[in-house]
Chain A
Amino acid sequence: MTTNATSIKAEKENKQNDLIVVRMEHLNKSFGNNHVLQDINLVMNKGENLVILGKSGTGKSVLIKSIVGLVEIDEGKLFILGQNISQLNDNELIEIRKKIGFLFQSAALYDSMTVRENLEFPLRRQLHTIPKDEMNSLVKEALLNVGLAETIDLWPSELSGGMRKRLGLARTLILKPEIMLYDEPTTGLDPITSKEISHLILEVQKKYNTSSIIITHDIACAKLIANRIIVLKDGICAAEGSYGDLKDSADAWTRSFFE
């Protein structure tokens, strides 16, 4: 009976672990004397939209950059899709990165490439032997998904801020990642375009069943897309909960974000 109960418990734990796509345990990161992240513990579940709020300079971008290895953590453990990334070699890290999409704050489009070339770049780099026809159809589909089909031969400099963000999203989604990381996706955009981008993030979640971490200062965007919100304060997780919970939080500082 005991063995049976243990195995059921282990199976339950395994199932729970399968549902966790990102897990951070006691994560620390400093730049000199500036402790950007302090003892961060965080879990993101499969298919979840996790929004991270916080004042500028509280380590939000560092947090998501550590997930793709752009920033190396000082202490703690970081598990992505069940793998401890500090124990992975370069090739294994590349394999993990293939499953993660990252939308940069500035969209980070390659200025020296056209819209088509921007979208072809990740395909060429990751699916080395992809036939030309297949690549063309993937590029067209990605542009159609973000409503930019007509811009295929334009240069990034010819696009508006909102279009650049959407194109950045298309470039990220072209490889159909399991995890999406958004670094302030609506910053610098007008309210209407911000809303469009927020809806696009929701569509992406539904269509591709992605799990997303979204860093934003845009409360309207957070309200629309968040399944759960974490508030960072001076590199520490200060509050966690749903939009409704945090809006009515007993803590005045947390509440001030939503006013």
Chain B
Amino acid sequence: MENTILENSPNEHLEAETIPESFSEPISDSVFNKFFLEVASLTSFTWRFFKEVFKPPYEFNELMKQSFLIGYKSLPLIGITGFIIGLVLTIQSRPTLAKFGAESWLPAMVAVSIIREIGPVITALIFAGKVGSGIGAELASMNVTEQIDAMQVSCTNPFKYLVVTRVLSATIMLPILIIFSDAIGLLGSFVGVNLKGNVSTYLFFSQIFQSLEFGDLAPAFIKTIFFGFAIGLIGSFKGYNSYKGTEGVGKAANSAVVFASLMVFIIDMIAVQITSLFQN
């Protein structure tokens, strides 16, 4: 007993949104249906990405343009938040370490925290908010205004031109942004340490490098690649398959951020479990 609304999306993929006809129908059925439809849709979207990414022609110019927009244009935001994270973490941690007379461990503790966990996760969340929602809104608005259809009529594969390039750019640029954010975060920490002390640059950074191991850097870097991929893919998925109408644009942007942020935490949890397996 369901009404089925079918809408034609740019890739001629018919989506069905099921709406309970009356309140007598269990809501959970509808929610479950919707969830599994969404998962199936995302899986097929991901599969299509992997099929298209290796197939020529390659949209190299668009990839460069998107990398500039996604990466370079995010630098100020990522830099400012990175600096604040380093500064605040240092100022907040100092009293606790001071209680145990371990104030000298401050640079090492902050460095490990930033590089292993806080830097990648917070930067990825900010990236999801800025870039994920941006991709979602941009593609949804292109969908609403028939720009994606126009591209298809111009003999351009819109999936390759719009989706593949954005997902690749996000996958490439987020790890670079996180390295940048970590570096700025450590600079913030240096400022934080020197607010109530006098530690030389050499001493501060030599303590940091002594405390860091390959096991801290490699897993942290690898997981950022997955963060970037998930954010780009979910933003594109939500935007490309948005429902027509202006409401669809807002919904696409909003759900892109929520879903991408959730995926960042899920990937982080999986990455921590895998890393701990190797470390033990």
Contacts and interface: CB of A to CB of B under 8 A. Distances in A.
A242 interface: no
Interface stretch (A76-84, A118-126, A144-152, A194-202): A118-126
A44 to B, nearest CB: 18
Contacts of B8: 31, 71
B146 interface: yes
A170 interface: no
A256 to B, nearest CB: 29
B147 A111 contact: yes
A133 to B, nearest CB: 20
A169 interface: no
Contact of B150 (A31, A108, A126): A108
Interface size class of A (residues with CB under 8 A): 20 to 34
B153 A102 contact: yes
Nearest to A68: B153
Taking each of B146, B154, B155, which has the highest tally of chain A beta carbons within 10 Å of its own beta carbon? B154
A131 interface: no
B155 A94 contact: yes
Interface size class of B (residues with CB under 8 A): 20 to 34
B155 A98 contact: yes
Contacts of B138: 112
A104 B146 contact: yes
B6 A108 contact: no
Contact of B153 (A31, A100, A109, A111): A100
A122 B156 CA distance: 9
- Overall SS of chain B's interface: mixed
Nearest to B14: A31
A165 to B, nearest CB: 13
Given A32-B6, A111-B141, A126 B154 contact: yes
Nearest to A31: B6
Contacts of A72: 12
Contacts of B7: 31
Contact of B146 (A71, A105, A112): A105
Interface string B1-43: 0001111100010101000000000000000000000000000
A33 B3 CA distance: 10
20 contacts: A31-B6, A32-B5, A32-B6, A34-B6, A65-B149, A68-B152, A69-B152, A70-B12, A70-B152, A70-B153, A71-B8, A94-B155, A102-B153, A104-B146, A108-B145, A108-B146, A108-B147, A108-B149, A110-B150, A121-B156
Interface of B: 4-8, 12, 14, 16, 138, 141-142, 145-147, 149-156
Interface of A: 31-34, 65, 68-72, 94, 97-98, 100, 102, 104-106, 108-112, 121-122, 125-126
Given A69-B152, A111-B141, 14 more contacts: A31-B8, A31-B14, A32-B4, A32-B6, A33-B4, A68-B152, A70-B153, A106-B145, A108-B147, A108-B150, A109-B147, A111-B142, A121-B154, A125-B154
